[in-house]
Structure 1
Amino acid sequence: MLQEIVSELHPIRYKDLPLLGIPKEQALKTINLIIPKKPPSAFLWNTLEFLEPTDKQAPRSVVYVSLGSVANVDEKVSTEMAWGLANSNQPFLWVVRPGSVQGFEWFEFLPEGLVSQLKMRGLIVKWAPQKEVLAHSAVGGFWSHCGWNSTLESMFEGVPMLCQPFEFDQKVNCRYLSYVWKIGVEIVVERGEIEDAIRRVLVGKKGEEMKQRAMEIQEKVKVAVCHGGSSHNSLEAFVDYILSL
């Protein structure tokens, strides 16, 4: 049932519908997380600190992992993510927001041996300047929750995506990225599946084809936001409407 296409909403499946199966109380709790309870951690970090380690990496070889500012995941999911990253043998930059793993402050739940493997291959941080990271030549894939802002930022830089949606419009965005535009793959949270998905995006012929499609969409996005482009014109029309009230 969940895999079936919704009538008149092709290619959206029932499983892609926003808030499917989420109780109202949980949805409200998630929305409340958007309201900051303390100063953003962005002020604590030098943005260049996250870009400099990738300077020695090959072009388009690094997978950037960030699941947004709201999503909370459990220990099991985070552990599978960690093993998938370690086993892929690809360099990575993984943003683990403090408190984003249920019941833990950061990533102290990971086995010491796994942490050692991760440190040999990549970098785990609490925050990263996302636009600058996606624009870096070493970044070849963005593992994301598929929030619309993150999706647009990735498309603007021509970076293919690994999609791990949670709620709201994220599942619909994931469906379009992976099924319609074909510039992303949907993540199955199991270490072997994750390892395979990372390699599909960053290595081999399929990855090159996905990168080419992402670059074609990048050009269309840039045209849309330029003077006279569709997005530029829509914004101007919206401003004119507001001013006319």
Structure 2
Amino acid sequence: MEAAHGGDAIRVVAMPYPGRGHINPMLNLSNLIASRQSDILISFVVTEEWLGLLGSEPKLDNIHFATIPNVVPSEIGRGADFPGFLEATLTKLEGPFERLLDRLEPPKPSVIIYDTYLCWVVGVGNRRNIPVASLFTMTTSVFTVFYHFDLLAQNGHFPADVSERGKELINYIPGIPSTRMADLPAVFYGDALKVLHRALEAISLVPKAQYLLFTSIYELESHIIDTLKANLGIPIYSIGPTIPYYRLEESFSLTTTGYNDINYVQWLDSQPKASVLYISQGSFLSVSKAQMDEIIYGLRDSGVRFLWVARGEISRIKEGCGDKGLLVPWCDQLKVLCHSSVGGFWSHCGWNSTKEGVFAGLPFLTYPIFWDQIPNSKTIVEDWKIGWKVRRGMGADEHLVTREEIAELIQRFMDLESVEGKEMRRRAKELQEICKNATSKGGSVETNIDAFVQDISQCCYH
């Protein structure tokens, strides 16, 4: 492929943060960029471990995986020491990445798209005279909170005890509507507090990049995006949901899960319309054992059909949940959410999962755990009004949600005939329509991606 293009090709280097919630949007963006022009060559940089994990991921021919050694802790169990893992990505990857750039065949990269948190890439690009584009894989509002974090300190809201002051309103961050302290990113305690300085450093370096890319649909966060465009001083592109919506027309490629060879698609096909609750708590962090027991038995007592993606403790969950549902270690999430038998989404509210649920037109039960998941849950429940919150309190302020409460909540949530349920589903369909319009031909996503591609092409040819 590369030899055929010779010197006329445009090389893009993609450097994602090595975590599932960051690699997926970077790979989806890479596929969308590569589909715009055949003379764009994308070198997608991953560790050797991640190459093994991504080996079967669908990608276009003009994308190739470029590997660096396993210099950061394994993906397996990285949640046990999040601060240590983040520190490794900031101190161990730069040297191998530079050596990889030295090994690349011509042409010289026209741009490096990097995950915002890997802020050392800005220095690499500037030293080598290669433009860099910062890809922020969380909401625009989370970026804005970090960008203006000094305002929290100036107004006496940081540091602060959220368990005591969580209901206080923050109404001075440009572009952000009035928000309770408790609904800001969870950076006031625990592991998040330990890494906050690294997140703020990463955001502070974004103005030194040449472009900023948001993994958001413009129509969903237009006011915040417009406010940032007026203040930031570099081109900003809202390049869409960065979920695999462009592959939805394909048939399910991996219908067996490898766990007792269960075919979850056949199982979904045999369930009544909108009767299944899809449950996923994400790939990184989990809940306490006591709370997990309440969730398991609450789900069982609700009597509701479910499809639960669980990466650990499958036998324990299977034993407790009864036989109304199916447990799998993996599934093609967006296609499952778009299946007609799925009627609701129990989610940890990671930004990728949130966008997939909205794209599928589903209501949510929210159980946020960490970082940006807390404001995402607030957006789902209070701003969009397409979900109900399961979790009560965060950090020291958290209260156990009992199995009786969970069973009653799930039953109400999955009742398609209730007035509140119908209204919530109507709003979810309205948001779905916004997403469909934005991602269709000529929509805001295509317009923004094309504008970004044109920008980097001009850099290449001049």
The question of 1:7 aligning with 2:168 is answered no
**Change beyond 3 A, Cα 1:74–1:109:** farther
1:55-70 matched pairs, under 5 angstroms = 55-70=269-284
Q: Paired residue for 1:37? A: none
CA distance in 1, matches of 2:178, 2:342: 29
Q: How does 1:75-114 map to 2 (within 5 A)?
A: 75-98=289-312, 106-109=313-316
Partner residue of 1:115 out of 319, 336, 341: 319
What SS does structure 1 have at the residue aligned with 2:272? coil
Matched with 2:331 is 128
Matching residue of 1:215: 429
Distance in 1 (CA, whole Å) between partners of 2:262 and 2:441 is 31
> Does the CA contact (< 8 Å) of 1:156 and 1:222 recur in 2?
yes
Kept in 2: contact 1:12–1:172 (CA 8 A): no
Contact preservation (8 Å) 1:158, 1:215:
yes
Given that 2:349 and 2:366 are in contact with CA atoms closer than 8 Å, whether structure 1 keeps it comes out as: yes
Q: Which has the higher contact order (CA 8 A, sep 6+)?
A: 1
AA paired with 2:375?
V
| 5+ long unaligned stretches in structure 1 | 32-41, 99-105
Out of 152, 162, 166, which is 2:369 matched to? 166
Q: RMSD in angstroms over aligned alpha carbons?
A: 2.6
Q: Deviations over 1:168-207 (max 9, x none)?
A: 2211111111001111111133323322332232112211
Aligned residue for 2:170, secondary structure, equals coil
- 8 Å contact kept, 1:81–1:191: yes
Task: Please report how far the alpha carbon of residue 43 of structure 1 lies from its aligned counterpart in structure 2 after TM superposition.
Answer: 7.2
Q: Which has the larger radius of gyration?
A: 2
**Any stretches of 5+ residues in structure 2 without a counterpart?**
1-164, 200-255, 392-400
Structure 2-normalised TM-score?
A: 0.44
State the Cα distance separating 1:45 from its structure 2 match: 5.9
Between 78-87 and 229-238, the greater mean CA deviation after superposition: 229-238
Aligned-partner Cα distance in 1 for 2:316–2:448: 47
| Residues 166, 11 of structure 1: alpha-carbon distance in 2 compared, 3 angstrom cutoff | farther
Post-superposition CA distance 1:107-133 (Å, at most 9, x none):
4556xxx826x2321122212221121
Question: TM (normalized to structure 1)?
Answer: 0.80
Distance 1:235 1:206, change over 3 A: same
Q: Distance in 1 between matches of 2:430 and 2:193?
A: 41
Note the C-alpha offset of 1:88.
1.4
Write the letter of the residue equivalent to 1:146: C
The one-letter code sitting in structure 1 at the alignment partner of 2:191 is: P
